[in-house]
């Protein structure tokens, strides 16, 4: 379970303090898949970072006893001059004990399926290849929660199919927090929807409803 | 084609020390690969850099120092002072920009700023200590000078305490570098001054009183001079006060850790 208690986060801008959200309270149950919706700049990624412990809120706290992945984005925090294998090994060393590193690496290699590039410096990768690698890497570990920030929405048909399969298997054991602008994905795969708007979070038990509200909100903002 | 997930092994809750140990190991290996993977001469760059500097000073000051240096060969004198000092200044200077440079690494929660500092500092220790042993070993082998082997434990002690000192300094530098803005430019200047005020290229014994006593307020001098005395027992030791250096070491680490603990959360807060 992840409990978000009274979290506020703001940024200082030249026009004054800009609040992303004020006094946010949420509870994410075990093995729950949550779709996070909101306009660009609504604070979706920041919220993920705060939950992951990579950013500090102004006030409030995250209470959890679960293991949480890093925010899996499209780029990944890879060191460009190292090969994909070296980068993967680095993360394995952080999260896994030595005996299991090889099986993790083998999985990432098969999953990302980038051929010889796996042993070439990451700076020679295309953005699609990087995204495949970072997505595969996060799925190699058995976290209680995965934080996906527009991750996995890349690659060819075969890769997508593989992703769906692995994600389906993961959903049996773990919770997800998904940021995506692909509304179809969220509707299909998530149990509940959360819309970040007007500096607070609106929780909807039905993802369809969340998507409706989100669409209306975006539409209104346009006018 | 379907891919099989590896067997289910949940990511475990570990004690803080275990997490830190794993982070240290992972970062150290990564630094090793990053630092030297790209260059053909690899690990040899650190010794080459030192050899180059030693050669320059030998040409400029060799003749003079040969006459005034008490009880020690000038080449040995240079290496014994320069290599440890370079370790210190490398560790401290690299920490100035550490917070920004570490951003990419900190997306993994188990990596904290202090882990990166520890890993990088430790790597510098290994590189420069290796340089030290290699250079002195080679020059002794070729008969450039001879050293005393009676006090190797003292040399090791000096290196380790200097490393601990550097670590505390690195923590302070990291905080200064993050909040200081232009102050960090001044810090680089101070290090240049310290280079000349630490008796690296000249022996402080040629400095007259009262300036000689002033120089002894610089803690590094005591450490570096002790290394020299240990390598060449004829080199005078009456002015060395290792206790003074150790007090600095404890003080610097105390302040460094305190500062780090105070701003740890603020360092990762986006503003």
The model's pLDDT over B196-231, given as tens digits with 9 standing for 90+, comes to 888 888 888 888 888 888 888 889 899 999 999 998
pLDDT at site B41 = 67
Q: Is the pLDDT of residue B149 over 60?
A: yes
Give the pLDDT score at B166: 94
Considering Cα of B230, then B235, then B236, then B241, what sign does the dihedral take?
A: negative
Average pLDDT over residues A167-181: 87
What pLDDT, in 10s, does the model give residues B85-121?
989 988 988 888 888 888 878 888 888 899 999 999 9
Quote the pLDDT of residue B261: 93
Task: For residue B270, name the pLDDT band (cuts at 50, 70, 90).
Answer: confident
Neighbours of A71 (CB within 10 A): 26
Per-residue model confidence as pLDDT tens digits over A11-48: 888 888 888 888 888 888 888 888 888 888 888 888 88
Residue B136, SS3 per DSSP: helix
In this prediction, residue A1 has a pLDDT band, given cuts at 50, 70 and 90, of confident
Shortest distance between the Cα of A145 and any Cα of chain B, in A, equals 11
pTM of the full structure: 0.88
Q: Decide if A88 touches B, using CB distance below 8 A.
A: no
pLDDT at site A42: 83
Residues in A touching B109 (Cβ below 8 Å):
52-54, 68, 70
Within 10 angstroms of residue A59's Cβ, the number of other Cβ atoms is 13
Say whether B266 and A56 touch across the interface (CB within 8 A).
Answer: yes
* B57 membership: H or E segment, kind and range: helix B45-68
Residue in B30, B112, B115, B266 to test binding to A, most A beta-carbons within 10 Å = B30
Residue A12 sits at the chain B interface (C-beta within 8 Å): yes
Q: Could you tell me which chain B residue has the CA closest to the CA of A52?
A: B109
How many contacts does A have with B, using Cβ atoms within 8 A? 102
The whole-angstrom separation of Cα B155 and Cα B228 is 9
Average pLDDT, chain A: 85
**What's the rounded Cα separation, in Å, for the pair B113 and A32?**
32
The answer to whether residue B66 scores a pLDDT higher than 80 is: no
| pLDDT tens, residue by residue, B28-44 | 988 888 877 666 666 67
A1-67+144-158+177-223: CATH, from 3.30.300.30, 3.50.90.10, 3.30.1490.20, 3.40.50.300 = 3.40.50.300
Determine the pLDDT at residue A180. Answer: 83
Binary contact (A67, B108; C-beta < 8 A): no
B50 against B189, higher pLDDT: B189
Task: Give residue B165's pLDDT band: very low, low, confident or very high (50, 70, 90).
Answer: very high
- ipTM score: 0.86
pLDDT in tens, A187-208: 888 888 888 888 888 888 888 8
| Cβ contact A11–B2 (<8 Å) | no
Which letter does DSSP use for residue A75 in this model?
Answer: S
Q: Kindly list the distances between the CA atom of residue B103 and the CA atoms of A193, B200, B268, in Å, as whole numbers in the listed order.
A: 30, 35, 9
Q: Using an 8 Å CB-CB cutoff, list chain B residues near A162.
A: 1-3
E strand or H helix at B138: helix B113-141
Task: Tell me the DSSP string of B198-262.
Answer: TTSSS-GGGSPTTHHHHHTTSHHHHHHHHHHHHH-TTS--TT--HHHHHHHHHHHHHHHHHHHHH
């Amino acid at each position: 379970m992840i409990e978000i208690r009274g979290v506020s986060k703001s940024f200082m801008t030249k026009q004054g303090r800009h609040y992303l959200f004020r006094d946010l309270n949420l509870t994410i149950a075990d093995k729950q898949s949550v779709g996070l919706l909101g306009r660009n700049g609504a604070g979706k990624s920041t919220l993920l970072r705060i939950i992951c412990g990579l950013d500090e809120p102004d006030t409030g706290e995250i209470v959890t006893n679960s293991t949480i992945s890093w925010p899996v984005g499209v780029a990944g925090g890879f060191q460009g001059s190292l090969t994909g294998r070296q980068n993967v090994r680095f993360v394995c060393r952080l999260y896994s004990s030595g005996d299991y590193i090889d099986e993790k690496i083998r999985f990432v290699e098969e999953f990302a399926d980038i051929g010889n590039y796996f042993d070439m410096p990451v700076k020679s990768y295309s953005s699609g290849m990087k995204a495949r690698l970072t997505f595969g890497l996060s799925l190699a570990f058995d976290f209680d929660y995965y934080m996906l920030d527009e991750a996995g929405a890349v690659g060819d048909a075969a890769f997508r199919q593989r992703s769906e399969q692995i994600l389906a298997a993961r959903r049996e054991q773990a919770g997800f927090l998904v940021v995506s602008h692909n509304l179809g994905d969220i509707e299909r795969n998530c149990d509940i929807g959360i819309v970040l708007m007007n500096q607070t979070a609106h929780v909807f038990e039905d993802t369809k409803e969340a998507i409706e509200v989100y669409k209306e909100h975006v539409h209104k903002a346009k006018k | 084609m379907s891919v099989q997930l590896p067997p289910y092994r949940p990511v475990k809750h570990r004690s803080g020390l275990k997490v830190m140990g794993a982070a240290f190991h992972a970062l150290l290996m990564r630094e090793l690969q990053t630092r030297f993977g790209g260059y053909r001469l690899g690990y040899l760059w650190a010794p080459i850099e030192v050899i180059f500097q030693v050669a320059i000073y030998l040409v400029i000051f060799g003749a003079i120092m040969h006459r005034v240096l008490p009880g020690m060969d000038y080449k040995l004198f240079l290496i014994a002072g320069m290599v440890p000092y370079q370790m210190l200044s490398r560790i401290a200077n690299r920490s100035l920009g550490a917070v920004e440079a570490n951003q990419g690494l900190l997306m993994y929660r188990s990596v904290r700023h202090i882990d990166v500092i520890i890993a990088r500092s430790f790597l510098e220790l290994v590189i420069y200590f290796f340089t030290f042993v290699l250079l002195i070993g080679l020059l002794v082998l070729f008969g450039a000078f001879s050293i005393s082997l009676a006090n190797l434990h003292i040399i090791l002690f000096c290196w380790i305490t200097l490393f601990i000192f550097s670590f505390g300094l690195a923590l302070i530098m990291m905080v200064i570098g993050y909040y200081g803005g232009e102050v960090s430019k001044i810090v680089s200047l101070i290090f240049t001054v310290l280079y000349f005020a630490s008796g690296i290229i000249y022996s402080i014994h040629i400095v007259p009183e009262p300036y000689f006593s002033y120089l002894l307020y610089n803690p590094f001098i005591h450490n570096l001079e002790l290394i020299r005395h240990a390598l060449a027992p004829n080199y005078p030791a009456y002015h060395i006060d290792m206790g003074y250096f150790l007090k600095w070491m404890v003080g610097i680490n105390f302040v460094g850790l305190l500062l780090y603990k105070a701003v740890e959360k603020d360092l990762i807060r986006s503003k």
